[in-house]
Amino acid sequence: MSESYTTGSSGNEQSASSIEGPRCFCDLRAISTTAFTDENWGRRFWGCVKYKDGGHCNYFAWRDPKMCAYGRRLIRQLREMHGQKLSEEISWESISGQLQKQNKNIEAIIAQHREEIDVMASQHRLAIEAMSNEQAAKIEAMTAQHRCETQVERKKAEV
């Protein structure tokens, strides 16, 4: 059985249920509505379908028997607990959304840092290559100088 609910300004819930209600004074099928007053909390009643339009016939009939005070109090407490649970779920969903947003920001920062690290690593590789080339040139120059000095010393020794 499927039902849809709308809440009216009088604090009651209307059900467009597949259960056929009695006919109101307008000769239309009455709709089932739930009262949320202190005296009749959660108690269902039949009312004219035109109530929201303002052209209703004032038809009213209780669908449920009157509940004892304990039953009314219990239903009210259960609905309050349910409302609190829904509020907590909304709060957790909000916190979850905030954490997901922060996580995306952190991931973006990490990606940016990785790019910066890659650029620095590339610069360091080039610097190391340049230093290696520079050192290789110095070594080659020293080797060449050593050869020259060795040749000069050989020639002096020969003379």
Domain-located, residue 98:
no
Domain-located, residue 153:
no
Split at pLDDT 50, 70, 90, the class of 19 is low
Domain-located, residue 84:
no
Domain-located, residue 126:
no
- pLDDT tens-digit series, residues 72-129: 788 888 888 988 898 888 888 889 889 999 999 999 999 999 999 999 999 988 988 8
Number of structural domains, the chain? 1
Domain-located, residue 57:
yes
Above 50 in pLDDT, residue 21? yes
Above 90 in pLDDT, residue 2? no
Domain-located, residue 82:
no
Beta bridge partner(s), residue 34: 13, 44
Domain-located, residue 29:
yes
Domain-located, residue 14:
yes
Computed over every residue of the chain, the mean pLDDT equals 82
* CA–CA separation, 157 and 159 (whole Å): 5
Q: Name 1's Cβ contacts closer than 8 Å, sequence gap at least 6.
A: 17, 18, 19
* CA–CA separation, 40 and 34 (whole Å): 9
Domain enclosing residue 47, as ranges? 5-67
- pLDDT tens-digit series, residues 32-69: 999 888 778 788 999 998 888 877 788 999 999 988 88
The encoded tokens of residue 126 equal: 């080039």
